[in-house]
Structure 1
Amino acid sequence: MKKFLLALLFAPLTAFASEHVHLDKAPVNLEDYASIQRGAKLFTNYCLTCHSANAMRYTRLEDVGLTKDQIKANLMFATDKVGNPMTIAMQPADAKKWFGAEPPDLSVIARSRSSDWLYTYLRSFYRDDTRPTGWNNTVFEKVGMPFVLYGLQGEQVLKESAHGEHEADAKPQFELVKPGSLTPAEYNSAVGDLVNYLTWMAEPAKIKRMEVGVLVLLFLGVFFVLAYYLKQEYWKDIH
């Protein structure tokens, strides 16, 4: 009975450990507006076909230096009004039929999954003929999502470890068997831009909020000094 209770107690920890994967550090810089703009272009061209971003409006891209005309000319393919949210035409029932599940909305995916997870995930697809789509992923095993960026990265296969199988807690090794339109370095940079955009999209006001927070803390610091000396002056006859 004690062994059974101990097994139940440590089961969640065992499950968590088995799902552990190596994550690479994402090159996120929310002050790099050029990178965010490039990432937005990749997102609207490759992701927005299946994944919506309903909490994000096209007009918000003006915050990273784009004009309404640039947004309309380069990023708007599913609507004609720059103030509209980033929705998709695909119906949930069709998505479930084609992919087995409805593709998630990506408005806050960077906050729910983390930027490092996204950066590693988008660089970890490999050919797997046992899967319906022909693709698998070391970060998200048996993923149902087709690899839409394969034209950029090319096709890679997963190398086996010295023991003949991939070790989940080790950094996986891939072999590029069919180059894409980008070199490996260029592809990593492009994915970095895409993740940078997804991170910014999850909280567009983050930089402004942090700037305001610093100003508030500075104000409170100055106010504390003034309040302290005012208190000293007010109570000087008592103390």
Structure 2
Amino acid sequence: MTDHWIVRLACAAMLMLASTVAGAAEGGKTLQAGNDLGDRASLQRGAQLYMNYCSGCHALKYLRYSRMAKDLGLSEEEVMNNLNFTGAAIGETVGVTLPKAEAEKWFGKMPPDLTLISRVRGSDWVYTYLKSFYLDPGRPLGWNNALFPNASMPNPLWEMQGLQHAVHGKPESPGADPPVTGLNIVQPGNVDAGQYDQAVRDITNFLEYAGEPAALKRQQLGVWVILFLAFLTFLLYLLKKEYWKDVH
């Protein structure tokens, strides 16, 4: 099951939008995504990026367009005109435009659904993975990933991120592959490091939301629960004073 989800995340980076980054994961360590489900603007940007660059191959079969519109503060028209590229109805789930035959031709299998990837791997893992591709002529497609060694997918975001080369350390044992200790941009992309980080963070934020849309509602309800408990505490305090006033 673990390997199955690793493959899912490897495919995720294939079509995700990002931008330039000077440093990524070193030695397989994860970075802090710092995403915020309460940032609706980030979720909206993440939805736009995902739908434009990921949904061609990767479905979100547990997320409906109608639910996304309601949760992210978008109208049905905005969703259908800007985020729906499959011709699906507003009440249907997010599918893909990639034909199965083409997927098997290029990738050997249909790219996996990514609805739950953030819940399985964590947002920090997703964020780091999207920043960790580097050129590797030894791989079939010329790309590798510092967080997920021997990733089978290329990085189609190189025009925005730029081209990264890996810095290798000493092998842990004779004959072993040298570990990746750092990543360097050798050819800048067409966006700066801050824009790249924000784009990847927005995608990560959206994927965390897609994995559990109810989390947004739970946060909203949490405020009211706290207010209710504060009011209840006040009432109980008044009741206690009234009950004990004749004792003192």
Partner Cα separation in structure 1 for residue 238 and residue 39 of structure 2:
43
The residue that corresponds to 2:20 in the other structure is none
Partner Cα separation in structure 1 for residue 210 and residue 144 of structure 2:
27
Tell me, yes or no, if the aligned pair for 2:161 and 2:189 is still in contact at 8 Å: yes
Partner Cα separation in structure 1 for residue 220 and residue 178 of structure 2:
45
Displacement after TM superposition at 1:215 (Å)? 3.7
Partner Cα separation in structure 2 for residue 226 and residue 34 of structure 1:
39
1:188 equivalent among 194, 197, 212: 197
Check if 1:83 corresponds to 2:87: no
Partner Cα separation in structure 2 for residue 148 and residue 187 of structure 1:
14
Partner Cα separation in structure 1 for residue 59 and residue 101 of structure 2:
15
Displacement after TM superposition at 1:112 (Å)? 0.9
Secondary structure, aligned partner of 2:134: strand
The residue that corresponds to 1:12 in the other structure is none
1:1-239 → structure 2 map (5 Å cutoff) = 21-59=28-66, 60-92=68-100, 94-161=102-169, 163=170, 166-167=178-179, 172-213=181-222, 215-216=224-225, 219=228
Displacement after TM superposition at 1:143 (Å)? 1.2
Partner Cα separation in structure 2 for residue 101 and residue 139 of structure 1:
22
Counterpart residue identity of residue 203, structure 1: E
Q: Identity over the aligned pairs, expressed in percent?
A: 41
Residues 136-173 of structure 1 deviation map (CA, whole Å, 9 limit, x = unaligned): 10111111222122221121110123x377546xxx42
TM-score by length of 1: 0.76
Displacement after TM superposition at 1:68 (Å)? 1.9
Partner Cα separation in structure 1 for residue 78 and residue 231 of structure 2:
43
Displacement after TM superposition at 1:89 (Å)? 3.2
Q: Report the number of matched residues.
A: 214
Structure 2: gaps spanning 5 or more residues: 1-26, 172-176, 243-248
The residue that corresponds to 2:7 in the other structure is none
Partner Cα separation in structure 1 for residue 45 and residue 223 of structure 2:
29
Q: Which moved more, 1:36-45 or 1:54-63?
A: 54-63
Structure 1: gaps spanning 5 or more residues: 1-19, 234-239
Tell me, yes or no, if the aligned pair for 2:51 and 2:83 is still in contact at 8 Å: yes
Counterpart residue identity of residue 139, structure 1: L
Tell me, yes or no, if the aligned pair for 2:47 and 2:206 is still in contact at 8 Å: yes
TM-score by length of 2: 0.73
Partner Cα separation in structure 1 for residue 70 and residue 238 of structure 2:
45
Partner Cα separation in structure 2 for residue 180 and residue 226 of structure 1:
60
* Root-mean-square deviation over aligned CA pairs: 2.9
Q: Which moved more, 1:75-84 or 1:186-195?
A: 75-84
Please say which structure displays the higher CA radius of gyration: 1
Displacement after TM superposition at 1:116 (Å)? 0.1
Q: Which moved more, 1:112-121 or 1:205-214?
A: 205-214
Moved over 3 A (4+): 91-94, 163-168, 213-230
Tell me, yes or no, if the aligned pair for 1:58 and 1:82 is still in contact at 8 Å: yes
Partner Cα separation in structure 1 for residue 218 and residue 128 of structure 2:
28
